[in-house]
Structure formats: structure tokens, C-alpha cells
A = this chain, B = another copy of it.
Amino acid sequence: MDIGILGTGMVGQALGRKLVQGGHRVCLGSRTADNPTAAAWARGRGPNATHGTFAEAARFGHLLFNCTAGVASLEALRRAGEENLRGKVLIDVANPLDFSHGLPPTLAFCNTDSLGEQIQRAHPEVRVVKALNTMNCEVMVDPARVPGEHHVFLSGNDAGAKRTVATLLSDAFGWPPQRILDLGDISTARGPEMLLPLWVRLWSALGTPDINFQVAGVSVRTAAAIPQPISTPVSGG
């Protein structure tokens, strides 16, 4: 599949690396066409790894990842251009971290709003799915790095988009379907975004980012009680 990744930080690079390894074509987007980080990422990865502006990456991808800094995401998506975003599935991986209060970061907004909701409101024709923001980027693309039955959460208004994302998480990153939990509509993104303050403190207390959250009690649920289902193929692949 052709995938556009907005953002050239650690998260965008890790997702892009894994997707190219899996045979997908990836365009890494940033503010400028000649971003040296993006160019260095693409170099040596073969013809499936390219880079460009936010607009070029968005135009390229049938499916998009938002991996920009959360407080800059709305501006990045504005630069990507509505004509390049319309109708597409956008996986929002970002957290609106605010470092102005010092460390650890707070959230720029939360509780009565979320970045996922802000993006969905600003781009009503984009099918936004919040996912993967609750863990380190190395765990996102290799969940077996953390032992145990830990989970990844999905929030979004479009059931088809969530199925597409779930299939990608399984096929490209190795998430077993039963460990992908559908929380509900995009307003449920508040929960996973508000996990960040605990995640940061656990990282500090335990001295490693190789952790993830598991919802204990889920594994013994009957299948009927587990949010459904994750079997539709990724479209446009």
C-alpha cells in the first residue's frame, strides 16, 4: 500500500522503517521538501522510501499517519491540504505534549477535548482513527518486544476505517487481533491521550520505555463481549 507519514521524528521514522520493510511504499512528509532528517531516513532504503512536503506525503498516501508533534498537528494538516486528505484514513499517533511547564510534560488540552477530536473537527471528511499513542514507537511496530497480552486502543467515528487500521496493525506490525481494543467514537481518544502522564512516570520509575498497558480481565471475556471485528482487508493495498 502507498502510505504517507506526516512527521519525521522518531515515531514517523520507526513506523516508516517497518512499513518499508513490509513491502509498503512510504513517503515521509515534513514542512520542507529538502528536510535533511527525512532525506537521511529515505537514503539506502530503496525505491519504496521517499520524502517530501506534508502535501506531497498526503497526496501520495492512500492511508496516512499523523506523527507530527501534537501541538503542531493541526498546522501540519492544514499545510497538507484538504484536497490531499479528503476521504482518507488518518491514523493519529500524536499526543499534544506541552513542555512549557517543564518536565514531565503536561497535555496542551485534555479531559473535555483531545487531539483526535480536534483533527476530526478540523477535517470532517478525513476518517480519523486514534491509535498507538500510548506506547513507545519501538513497541508500536514490534509488540513482541514487551511480553504479555498488552493492548492497543482504537478510537474513531468510522467503523470501516477502524477495521482498515486494525488490519494494518496486525499485518504490518504484528498486533494480534484480540489485543486491538475498539473504545468507540473519536471522543474516546481522550482516554488514551490522558494515559500519557502515567506512561511518562512509569518510564521514569521503571527505567525503560519497553512497557505497555494491558487491560487485565479482557482475555477471559467471551468473544461476544470483545469489541468486534478486525477481519476486513486493508483497502487500497
Q: Which residues does A use to contact B, with CB under 8 Å?
A: 101, 106-107, 110-112, 146-150, 153, 181-184, 188, 190-192, 194-195, 197-202, 204-208, 210-221, 225-227
Q: Taking the full assembly, how many copies of this chain does it contain?
A: 2
Q: What would be 27 A-B contacts, judged by CB atoms less than 8 Å apart?
A: A111-B111, A146-B216, A147-B220, A148-B216, A150-B217, A181-B205, A183-B202, A191-B198, A191-B199, A191-B201, A191-B202, A194-B194, A194-B195, A194-B198, A195-B195, A205-B227, A206-B227, A207-B225, A208-B221, A208-B225, A210-B217, A211-B218, A212-B216, A213-B214, A213-B216, A214-B214, A214-B215
Apart from A148-B149, A194-B195, A212-B216, list 4 A-B contacts with CB within 8 A. A101-B112, A153-B198, A191-B198, A206-B226
Chain B residues with CB under 8 A of A182: 205
* Chain B proximity of A183: nearest CB distance (Å): 5
Chain B residues with CB under 8 A of A148: 149, 214, 216-217, 219
Residue pair A225, B206 in contact (C-beta under 8 Å): yes
Residue pair A219, B147 in contact (C-beta under 8 Å): yes
A207 (CB) vs chain B CBs: closest residue: B225
Residue pair B217, A216 in contact (C-beta under 8 Å): no
Residue pair A111, B217 in contact (C-beta under 8 Å): no
Chain B residues with CB under 8 A of A204: 184
* Chain B proximity of A163: nearest CB distance (Å): 16
Given A112-B101, A211-B216: A198 in contact with B192 (beta carbons within 8 A) = yes
- State A107–B194 Cα separation when bound (angstroms): 11
- State A181–B199 Cα separation when bound (angstroms): 13
* Chain B proximity of A185: nearest CB distance (Å): 10
* Chain B proximity of A131: nearest CB distance (Å): 14
Chain B residues with CB under 8 A of A216: 146-150, 211-214
- State A146–B218 Cα separation when bound (angstroms): 9
Question: Which of the residues B107, B191, B197, B215 comes within 8 Å of A211, measured between beta carbons?
Answer: B215
- State A112–B109 Cα separation when bound (angstroms): 11
